[in-house]
Amino acid sequence: MPNRKFSELVTRLAPSVPGAPNVVVEQYVRDAAIEACERTLAWRHEQAPIRLNKGGHDYAYEPPDYAEVHAIITATVNGNKLKSVSLDHLHDLYPKWPYGAANEQAEPRYITTIDVDNFAVAPIPDGSTNYDVRMIVACKPLRTAEEMDKTVLDDLENVIMHGALQHLLVLPERTWSDRELASYHAKQFAYKLSERRARANLGTGRGSMRVQNQRFA
């Protein structure tokens, strides 16, 4: 999928924060994009099937460029659903995992996130068959990213702009500071995050959001 640069939003935000350095505005745009993706789970990515190795338990995610995995939405192994659990809960279920005996190896039933780069399954795969994991994950931009998936950024553009402005406008002793307007954008950011998350929970598609000048809808 094509990407879109955060700098495009910087240009749109410029009239609202006259005199603000572009590098500062872009940082707050990026921060707002990360928070929006975390809270709405809107950036969903279907990974290519990952073959599990006999006796192996941890595997690397394969996120899009300039992104990292935030959460697992769904996962299956050979068509059977994997239950997503916390790492602590996985250890409760399998106290000897991942160093149990060979007779504890079987078809995986659980999946967990180890960190932003890796996930794990349990039980540890046995060698009785080939196991392929398919998953849909929720992604977010890297802290160093200058761009992200265009479809998602188009969808969340309005939300992200509110999120950036709520922080930019409360920076102290700036020519563009405006706490009253910052409060307005903070409320809009919270409202539109909830609205977008509700749409995701209902399974509706990514509708584009209309953006007005200055006071974004």
Q: Give residue 199's pLDDT band: very low, low, confident or very high (50, 70, 90).
A: confident
Which of 140, 158, 189 is a domain's end point?
140
**Is 65 contained in some domain?**
yes
Same domain, 49 and 79: yes
The reply to whether 56 and 77 lie within a common domain is: yes
Q: Which phi and psi angles does 52 have, rounded to 5°?
A: -85, 145
In total, how many domains does the chain have? 2
Question: 48 and 123: one domain?
Answer: yes
What is the average pLDDT score of the chain?
90
213 assigned to some structural domain: no
| Model pLDDT for residues 110-163, shown as the tens digit of each residue | 999 999 999 999 999 988 889 999 999 999 999 999 999 999 999 999 999 999
Residues 112 and 57 in one domain: yes
Per-residue confidence at 203, pLDDT binned at 50, 70, 90? low
pLDDT of residue 74: 96
Please tell me whether residues 37 and 106 are part of one structural domain: no
Interatomic CA distance for residues 166 and 186, integer angstroms = 5
Query: Which of 8, 59, 47 has its CA nearest to residue 211?
Result: 8
In tens, the pLDDT along 77-102 reads 999 999 999 999 999 999 888 887 66
122 lies in the same domain as 147: no
**What CA–CA distance (Å, rounded) separates 192 from 214?**
16
Q: How high is the pLDDT of residue 102?
A: 61
85 and 101 housed in the same domain: yes
208, part of any domain: no
Q: Give residue 201's pLDDT band: very low, low, confident or very high (50, 70, 90).
A: confident
Residues 146 and 136 in one domain: no
Structural contact between residues 19 and 176, judged by C-beta atoms closer than 8 angstroms = yes
What does the pLDDT read at residue 140?
97
Task: Let me know whether 85 and 166 are in one domain.
Answer: no
Domain of 186 in residue numbering reads as 3-42+142-202
Query: Does 75 map to a domain?
Result: yes
Percentage of residues in the chain having pLDDT higher than 90: 79
Please give the pLDDT value at position 103: 62
Identify whether residues 50 and 136 lie together within a single domain.
yes
